[in-house]
Amino acid sequence: MKTYLLIVAVAVCLPAIAAAQNAASPEAPGGNADNGKKLYTAYYCYACHGTVGQGGRDGARIAPNPPALATIRTYVRKPTGNMPPYSAKVVSDQELADIYAFLKSIPPSPAAKDIPLLNQ
């Protein structure tokens, strides 16, 4: 009976321990938005995602308010759509962090009520 209780206790606790370890591990190095903007252009991200991440016919909207860096990293490494994969040999984790910092720095578009020409 003691062995059974020990197995149940371990089975219940393992997911919580794994989640705590994942939460404690750093997501990525800090990013540089200025370098990220250069990389976004150099890797032709704008060709599909637009110059400010607004999305387009061939690429999803990725700014403002991009998905989490871990989500972007996973998709960039193993995309499911027409996007080509970018391995860490092509785009390093630091470069992805810089691109992410650039995407995070893009402000939202102004509301229509705040655009004078639209209020005439």
Pick from 92, 63, 65, 64: nearest CA to 76: 92
More confident residue, 104 or 8: 104
Other CB atoms within 10 Å distance of the CB of residue 50 = 17
- Report the run of H or E that residue 77 belongs to, with start and end: helix 69-77
Output 14 or 78, whichever has higher pLDDT. Answer: 78
Q: At what angle do helices 93-105 and 69-77 cross, to 10 degrees?
A: 130
Q: What angle do CA 73, 78, 84 make, to 5 degrees?
A: 100
If you average pLDDT over residues 26-54, what whole number do you get?
91
Q: With 80 as the cut, is the pLDDT of residue 24 above it?
A: no
Global confidence as pTM: 0.73
Predicted confidence (pLDDT) at residue 89 exceeds the cutoff of 60: yes
Distance in angstroms (rounded) separating the CA atoms of residues 101 and 11? 39
Instruction: Identify the CATH class of 33-105.
Output: mainly alpha
Instruction: Please report the pLDDT score of residue 64 as a whole number.
Output: 96
